Amino acid sequence: MAKLKRFTVPELIEFGFRGFLSFQDIRRQYSQNDGGIPESPGVYIVLRTGSSTPTFLVKGYGGTHKARKANVPVQILKENWVADAPVLYIGKASQRKNGGGLYSRINEYAVAGQGRSHGHSGGEFIWQLADARELLVAWKPVPSGTERRLEESLILAFRDTYGKIPFANRQG
């Protein structure tokens, strides 16, 4: 099991996460093909540096995935919010036949926040936060085949600490 307690930035860095870039920085670096995000499998997280309760948007920044609605009622967002938790989403990226890994998966997530149709099927709740563009993304490369186990371990450790899964994860 992951040995994280509060999921703070220093704790995540010590655990091997790196990056901590905003989606805007990721999109800019991705378009220049020098983002430093590996094409290997791994786990990535989305986090919010502020601790105040966010403003939830009725219509967020997110695009659609397979014609699924991009927005949910604000009440659902409020029910899923995890007070005082910096991590909002924990996801995994597997190696694909055409490469990609973390590099492709994180970019798909960034594209989702531009209001375009996208290939990222999780974590859409973050795009209904008023400060979504200020959120940070960090990643940890892992050997192929271990990304799912690490993702599950992190979600369980988060649930042990906060009593529920991260805000934008739908299952855990």
Runs of H (alpha helix) within 6-73: 9-14, 23-31
Q: What is the pLDDT averaged over residues 133-155?
A: 94
Quote the pLDDT of residue 162. Answer: 96
Q: Which of the pair, 120 or 71, is modelled with greater confidence? A: 71
pTM for the complete prediction?
0.89
Q: Give the 3-state secondary structure of residue 91.
A: strand
Mean pLDDT computed over every residue of the chain:
85
Quote the pLDDT of residue 65. Answer: 58
> Has residue 156 got a pLDDT over 80?
yes
Instruction: Give the tokens for residue 38.
Output: 């590996």
